[in-house]
C-alpha cells in the first residue's frame, strides 16, 4: 500500500520529507479546485527549484487558446483548431527571505517538512522548520484552499513563529505570469510525444497589469481565442507587526522577529474568465475587486469555516464508508474528493478528463463525463449533473454544425473532444470517429430524467438533445439489403480505441438503438405539455416511424457458432494479438506500435462490448455476459484507465468475486499508486467516477429497472460493511451492506418501493 495513505486516518493524505521526486509526483494528487478553477499542489517557492515541480499550473475551467492544427495531409472535415487549456498566472507564488538568505527547499536548512491534504475539510497544509543562516528557527505553516463559497477564490495563510527576536524577515508575493515555466515546459515537450499529454504549453496570452493598489491585478488575454481572464490578489496581515509595500507584480511584507510571537499573513487570489469587449474588462475587474474586498473584510477564518461547512455537507450525502480497510477507505475518499473538485457548476463548462489537476488531454471534455463521472453526481448532487448536461445543451449549435460538415443534413453530432463545442480531435480514427458520444450524452440525459424526475428539463433541453441525436443516427446509418435489411452503422470507432473504423460496433449500435427509443418515449411525454420544445423541433410522424424501425432492426453483431457477442462485424476475423510475445515494457501499446499494427489485431485498449452489457445488465442473460466477459478479458490490455472499473463491475455481477475485488483495488488506488504511470499529467477523473460506480453499481448492484431502484448486493468478504447514500426522486436513501445483510433506510422524502434480489420493499 502506498505510503501517502498508510497513516491510519481515513481522511488524511500525508507526505513527509523533502524528496523532490515525491513532491513532484504529489503535485497532481494535492491539486485543489472547485470546478471553476484549480491549482496544482506545487510548493510556494518552487520557481526557485524547478526540479520539485512537474508543472505548477493554475487552470481556469474552459480557459483555452486555439491555434490551427497543421496536418501533413489534410482532408475535408478534419478538425481545424486545437483547443488547449492554458495555465494562468500563479497566485500561490511566495518568496521568503532574511537579510542574507532566500528560502528554498533544496538549499535551506529545513526539518520536519510535511504536507497534509485533509479531505474532510478540503485544505492543504504544509509545515516545516527553517533554521536560517543567522541561526533563527522559524516554525512555518502554510495552508491553502480553493473556496466553494466564492468560486473565484484561492485562500492562503502563512504563519511564522520565530524562536529568536530582532531579525528581519521578508515575504514577497507575486502573480507569477509563468514566462519561465512556459519555456521550460515547452522545451521538455519537444522530446515527449505521448499523445495523452498537453499539446503544448508555451505561454499564449498577453498580460497587462492594472494598477489597483493594494490589490495586485492582472488582465490577460489569449492570443487566438480572445478569452480574457482577470487575476487579482490581496494580502492581509496584522499591520502593527509587519510593513506592507507593493511594486510591479509584487507585494512585500517585512517584520522583525519577536521570539515566540506568531506572524500571520493571509492572501486571497481571485480568478475569473470571460469573452468580452473593453467595457466588460472594466466591469469584470470591478466585480473581481469587490469580491476580493469582500473576502478580505470577512477574513480568512470566516472563509475557512464556510468552506469547511460546504465540505461537510458534500460528505454528508456523498461519502462512501468501508469498514475493515482504512487505507482503502482513504483511497476511495480521495477519488470522491477529486470528482467533486472537477465538475463545472455554471452550465457553461464541463469536466475535463483530468479535472483541473493537470494539462493532460489539453483540458478537453470527453464522453468520460457522461459515462463515468456523471452517475456520481446524478445520485448525490443532481444539480451539478444538470449543470453538466446544460453545458451539452449549450453546445448543440456547434454539434449541428459538425453534423453538417460530416454530410448529415439534419440532427447533431457532438464533438469527441472539445472545450468550446467544436471538434478538437486531430486524429479521426481513434477520435472523431467515436460518434458513440452522441448516444452517451443521450443516455446521460435520459438517466437524469429517470433519477431526478425533473420533467421540465427533460421536455425542453433534454428533448432537444435526444431528438437531435436521434436524427443523426438515422442519417449516419442505413437499412442494408445484404444483411436482411438490418439497420447498420458503418465506419465508426467504438470505445475501444485499439479497433478503429469498423462496421457495426456493438456498443455504438446498442447505444444508438437506446437513443432512438429514448427520443420516441420523451416525445410521447412532451406531447401533453405546453412548456415543451416539441413544436419547435417539428418532428414528423414519418420521422418517428423511421426511428422506430431503425431501433427495431438495429444490427447487433453476434457469432452464433461461438455464442459470443461480436465487438463489431470484423473483430473475430482478425488475428489475436501476440500477448505472450509482448514484453511488459511495450505497454501501453499505443506508444510502441503503429496504429495499423494494433488495429488489425484482436486487442482492446478498454472495455467496449462488456460496457454495453454492463449498462443494460437486464437485457442480457447471465451466461451470455459471462461468456463475453471471459472472451474480451483475454484480449483487453486496460491501457486506458477507463477499462478496469467496467471489468470489475461486470466481474462482480457475474459472480467472479475475487476478480471483481482485484480490479476494484486497481481502480480505487490508480492515481495514488500511479498505476498508469502518467498521474503527473493529472488525475484520471473517469476512473475516479469508475470507483464510485464500482461500489454502488458493482458491489451493491444498484441499477434502475423500469424506473425503479434495484439492488443486488455482493459486499466483498474483506470488508465488514459498505455504506453510502443516494438521492433519488426527492428521497435520500441510506444503504448499508455487510457480506450477509443489507439495510435500506429513507432519510428524506416520501416512502418509496425498491426491488432487492428476492423481494420488493417499501423504504
Ligand atoms: C480513452 C478514451 C478516453 C480518453 C480521455 C483515452 O485513453 O481511450 O476512452 O475518453 O482517454 O480520458
Tell me the average pLDDT across 550-567. Answer: 98
Where does the pLDDT of residue 183 fall: very low under 50, low under 70, confident under 90, or very high at 90 and above? very low
Tell me the average pLDDT across 459-473. Answer: 98
- Ligand 1 pocket test: which of 605, 642, 690 has the largest number of ligand atoms within 8 Å of its C-beta? 642
E strand spans, 499-631 = 558-559, 564-565, 575-576, 601-602
**Domains recognised in the chain with CATH numbers:** 8-315 (2.70.98.40)
Where does the pLDDT of residue 85 fall: very low under 50, low under 70, confident under 90, or very high at 90 and above? very high
Residue nearest to atom 5 of ligand 1 (CA): 353
What gap in Å lies between CA 563 and CA 180, rounded to an integer? 60
Ligand 1 pocket by Cβ (under 6 Å): 353, 361, 366-368, 495, 497, 605-606, 640, 642, 686
What gap in Å lies between CA 734 and CA 763, rounded to an integer? 10
Residue nearest to atom 11 of ligand 1 (CA): 640
Other Cβ atoms within 10 Å of 11 Cβ, number:
16
Question: Could you identify the atom of ligand 1 that is nearest to the CA of residue 605?
Answer: 8
Q: What is the mean pLDDT of the chain?
A: 94
- Ligand 1 pocket test: which of 354, 432, 640, 671 has the largest number of ligand atoms within 8 Å of its C-beta? 640
Q: What pLDDT does 755 receive? A: 96
Ligand 1 centroid–CA 600 distance in Å is 20
Residue nearest to atom 8 of ligand 1 (CA): 640
Asked whether the CA dihedral 678, 414, 516, 558 is positive or negative, the reply is negative
- Ligand 1 pocket test: which of 686, 688, 689 has the largest number of ligand atoms within 8 Å of its C-beta? 686
Ligand 1 centroid–CA 553 distance in Å is 30
Beta bridge partner(s), residue 244: 253
Residue nearest to atom 6 of ligand 1 (CA): 640
Q: What are phi and psi of 625, to 5 degrees?
A: -60, -40
Residues involved in catalysis: 497
pLDDT per residue as tens digits for the range 22-34: 999 999 999 999 9
Q: What pLDDT does 458 receive? A: 98
b (16+ CB within 10 A) / e for 170-181 = bbbbbbbbbeeb
E strand spans, 257-312 = 263-275
* pLDDT beyond 70 at 262: yes
Where does the pLDDT of residue 673 fall: very low under 50, low under 70, confident under 90, or very high at 90 and above? very high
* pLDDT beyond 60 at 525: yes
pLDDT per residue as tens digits for the range 696-748: 999 999 999 988 999 999 999 999 999 999 999 999 999 999 999 999 999 99
What are the distances in angstroms from CA 741 to CA 363, 656, 693, 720?
Answer: 43, 19, 20, 10
From edge to edge, which strands make up the β-sheet containing 721-728?
320-323, 721-728, 731-737, 742-748
Q: What pLDDT does 215 receive? A: 87
Q: What pLDDT does 190 receive? A: 43
Ligand 1 centroid–CA 494 distance in Å is 11
- Kindly report which listed range (79-88, 188-197, 409-418) carries the lowest average pLDDT score: 188-197
Residue nearest to atom 12 of ligand 1 (CA): 353
Q: What pLDDT does 80 receive? A: 96
Distance of CA 690 to the CA centre of its chain: 11
Question: Which residue do the cell numbers 428476492 mark?
Answer: 758
Q: What pLDDT does 279 receive? A: 72
Residue nearest to atom 9 of ligand 1 (CA): 495
* pLDDT beyond 90 at 309: yes
Question: Could you identify the atom of ligand 1 that is nearest to the CA of residue 364?
Answer: 5
Ligand 1 centroid–CA 602 distance in Å is 19
Contacts of 509 (CB under 8 A, 6+ apart): 489, 554, 555, 556, 557
Name the pairing type of β-strands 215-222 and 227-237. Answer: antiparallel
Beta bridge partner(s), residue 275: 227
Asked whether the CA dihedral 384, 230, 338, 395 is positive or negative, the reply is positive
Where does the pLDDT of residue 189 fall: very low under 50, low under 70, confident under 90, or very high at 90 and above? very low
Q: Which residue has the higher pLDDT, 340 or 528?
A: 340
Ligand 1 centroid–CA 642 distance in Å is 7
Nearest to 236 by CA among 250, 253, 249, 248: 253
Tell me the average pLDDT across 92-116. Answer: 96
What gap in Å lies between CA 431 and CA 494, rounded to an integer? 10
Ligand 1 centroid–CA 289 distance in Å is 39
Q: What pLDDT does 186 receive? A: 38
Q: What pLDDT does 185 receive? A: 41
- Kindly report which listed range (186-190, 205-209, 340-344, 629-633) carries the lowest average pLDDT score: 186-190
Q: Which residue has the higher pLDDT, 628 or 528?
A: 628
Question: Could you identify the atom of ligand 1 that is nearest to the CA of residue 417?
Answer: 10
350, 339 in Cβ contact below 8 A?
no
Tell me the average pLDDT across 584-612. Answer: 98
pLDDT per residue as tens digits for the range 45-82: 999 999 999 999 999 999 999 999 999 999 999 999 99
Q: What pLDDT does 188 receive? A: 46
Amino acid at each position: 500500500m502506498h505510503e501517502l495513505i498508510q497513516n491510519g486516518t481515513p481522511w488524511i493524505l500525508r507526505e513527509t520529507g523533502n524528496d523532490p521526486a515525491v513532491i513532484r509526483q504529489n503535485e497532481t494528487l494535492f491539486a485543489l479546485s472547485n470546478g471553476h478553477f484549480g491549482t496544482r499542489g506545487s510548493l510556494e517557492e518552487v520557481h526557485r527549484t524547478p526540479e520539485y515541480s512537474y508543472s505548477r499550473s493554475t487552470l481556469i475551467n474552459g480557459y483555452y487558446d486555439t491555434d490551427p492544427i497543421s496536418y501533413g495531409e489534410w482532408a475535408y472535415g478534419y478538425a481545424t483548431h486545437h483547443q488547449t487549456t492554458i495555465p494562468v498566472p500563479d497566485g500561490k507564488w511566495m518568496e521568503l527571505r532574511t537579510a542574507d538568505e532566500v528560502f528554498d527547499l533544496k538549499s535551506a536548512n529545513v526539518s520536519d517538512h510535511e504536507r497534509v491534504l485533509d479531505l474532510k475539510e478540503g485544505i492543504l497544509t504544509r509545515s516545516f522548520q527553517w533554521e536560517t543562516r543567522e541561526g533563527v528557527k522559524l516554525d512555518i505553516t502554510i495552508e491553502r484552499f480553493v473556496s466553494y463559497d466564492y468560486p473565484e477564490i484561492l485562500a492562503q495563510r502563512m504563519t511564522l513563529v520565530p524562536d529568536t527576536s530582532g531579525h528581519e524577515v521578508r515575504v514577497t508575493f507575486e502573480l507569477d505570469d509563468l514566462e519561465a515555466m512556459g519555456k521550460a515546459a515547452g522545451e521538455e515537450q519537444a522530446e515527449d510525444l505521448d499523445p495523452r499529454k498537453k499539446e503544448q504549453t508555451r505561454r499564449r496570452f498577453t498580460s497587462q497589469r492594472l494598477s489597483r493598489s493594494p490589490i495586485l491585478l492582472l488582465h490577460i488575454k489569449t492570443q487566438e481565442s480572445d478569452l480574457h481572464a482577470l487575476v487579482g490578489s490581496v494580502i492581509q496581515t496584522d499591520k502593527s507587526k509587519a510593513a506592507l509595500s507593493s511594486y510591479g507584480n509584487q507585494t512585500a511584507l517585512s517584520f522583525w522577529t519577536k521570539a515566540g510571537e506568531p506572524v500571520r499573513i493571509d492572501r486571497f487570489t481571485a480568478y475569473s474568465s470571460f469573452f468580452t469587449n473593453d467595457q466588460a474588462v472594466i466591469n469584470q475587474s470591478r466585480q473581481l475587486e469587490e469580491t476580493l474586498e469582500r473576502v478580505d473584510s470577512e477574513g480568512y477564518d470566516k472563509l475557512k469555516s464556510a468552506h469547511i461547512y460546504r465540505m461537510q455537507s458534500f460528505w454528508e450525502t456523498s461519502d462512501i464508508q468501508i469498514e475493515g480497510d482504512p487505507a482503502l477507505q482513504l483511497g476511495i475518499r480521495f477519488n470522491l474528493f477529486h470528482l467533486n473538485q472537477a465538475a463545472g457548476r455554471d452550465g457553461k463548462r464541463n469536466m475535463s478528463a483530468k479535472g483541473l489537476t493537470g494539462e493532460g488531454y489539453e483540458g478537453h471534455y470527453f464522453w468520460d463525463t457522461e459515462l463515468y463521472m456523471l452517475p456520481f453526481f446524478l445520485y448525490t448532487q443532481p444539480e451539478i449533473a444538470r449543470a453538466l448536461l446544460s453545458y451539452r445543451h449549450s453546445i448543440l449549435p456547434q454539434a449541428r454544425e459538425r453534423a453538417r460538415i460530416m454530410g448529415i443534413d439534419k440532427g447533431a453530432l457532438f464533438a469527441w473532444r472539445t472545450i468550446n463545442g467544436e471538434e478538437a480531435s486531430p486524429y479521426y480514427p481513434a477520435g472523431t470517429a467515436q460518434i458513440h458520444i452522441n448516444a452517451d450524452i443521450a443516455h446521460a440525459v435520459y438517466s437524469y430524467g429517470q433519477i431526478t424526475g425533473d420533467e421540465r428539463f427533460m421536455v425542453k433541453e433534454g428533448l432537444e438533445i435526444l431528438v437531435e441525436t436521434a436524427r443523426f443516427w438515422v442519417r449516419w446509418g442505413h437499412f442494408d439489403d445484404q444483411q436482411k435489411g438490418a439497420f447498420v452503422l458503418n465506419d465508426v470507432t467504438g470505445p475501444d480505441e485499439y479497433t478503429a473504423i469498423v462496421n457495426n460496433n456493438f456498443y455504438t449500435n446498442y447505444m444508438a438503438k437506446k437513443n432512438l427509443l429514448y427520443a420516441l418515449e420523451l416525445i410521447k411525454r412532451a406531447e401533453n405539455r405546453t412548456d415543451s420544445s416539441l413544436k419547435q423541433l417539428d418532428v414528423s410522424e414519418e420521422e418517428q416511424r423511421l426511428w422506430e424501425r431503425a431501433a427495431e432492426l438495429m444490427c447487433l453483431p453476434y457469432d452464433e457458432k461461438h455464442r459470443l457477442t461480436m465487438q463489431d462485424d470484423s473483430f473475430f476475423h482478425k488475428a489475436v494479438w501476440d500477448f505472450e510475445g509482448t514484453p511488459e515494457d511495450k505497454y501501453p501499446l499505443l506508444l510502441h506500435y503503429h496504429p495499423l499494427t494494433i488495429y488489425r489485431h484482436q486487442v482492446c485498449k478498454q472495455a467496449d462490448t462488456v460496457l454495453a452489457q454492463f449498462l443494460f445488465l437486464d437485457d442480457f442473460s447471465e451466461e451470455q455476459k459471462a461468456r463475453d466477459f471471459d472472451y474480451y478479458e483475454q484480449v483487453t490490455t486496460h491501457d486506458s484507465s477507463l477499462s478496469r472499473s467496467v471489468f470489475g463491475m461486470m466481474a462482480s455481477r457475474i459472480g467472479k468475486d475475487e476478480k471483481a475485488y482485484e480490479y476494484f483495488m486497481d481502480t480505487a488506488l490508480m492515481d495514488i499508486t500511479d498505476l498508469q504511470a502518467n498521474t503527473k499529467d493529472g488525475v484520471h477523473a473517469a476512473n475516479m467516477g469508475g470507483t464510485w460506480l464500482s461500489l454502488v453499481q458493482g458491489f451493491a448492484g444498484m441499477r434502475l429497472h423500469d424506473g425503479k431502484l434495484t439492488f443486488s448486493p455482493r459486499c466483498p468478504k474483506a470488508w465488514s460493511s459498505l455504506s453510502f447514500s443516494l438521492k433519488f426522486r426527492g428521497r435520500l436513501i441510506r444503504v448499508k451492506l455487510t457480506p450477509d445483510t443489507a439495510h435500506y433506510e429513507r432519510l428524506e422524502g416520501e416512502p418509496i418501493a425498491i426491488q432487492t434480489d428476492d423481494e420488493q420493499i417499501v423504504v
